[in-house]
Amino acid sequence: MNENPNKTKIILSYIISLLGLIFVNTEKDASETDRAHFAQAGTIFIVEIAVSVISGIIAALQVPFVGTILGLIPTALLVLAIIAAVKASNGEYFKIPVIDDLSKKIFGKKTV
């Protein structure tokens, strides 16, 4: 069986999304699929930071209900990242809706 040497890094990058951002920029010898995993995990980190900043602004403006809805986004991303990590452990690629497309725009086209 051909075991992916980056499997552990891929799984960790989904769990700790900052690692995905680091690995997508440092692992130049990784396969395109591995780089797509790293890019997707890094995009999760970027989206979480953006949502956090927007939530802070919304909280400061005291806009009702919007903060609650924005608070659900990180939870949904965590669930999707766990699904992607499980799929990656089985050698599969899980395209997280919206995040996959956004990662291609941020980090360039990945072939998966």
- The model's pLDDT over 49-93, given as tens digits with 9 standing for 90+, comes to 999 898 888 888 887 788 788 888 989 999 999 999 999 999 999
pLDDT at 71: 82
User: CB-based contacts of 47: which residues, under 8 Å, 6+ apart?
Assistant: 73, 77, 99, 102
Closest CA to 36 of 90, 88, 89: 88
d(CA 32, CA 110): 6
Three-state secondary structure call for residue 109: coil
pLDDT at 2 over 80: no
d(CA 20, CA 6): 12
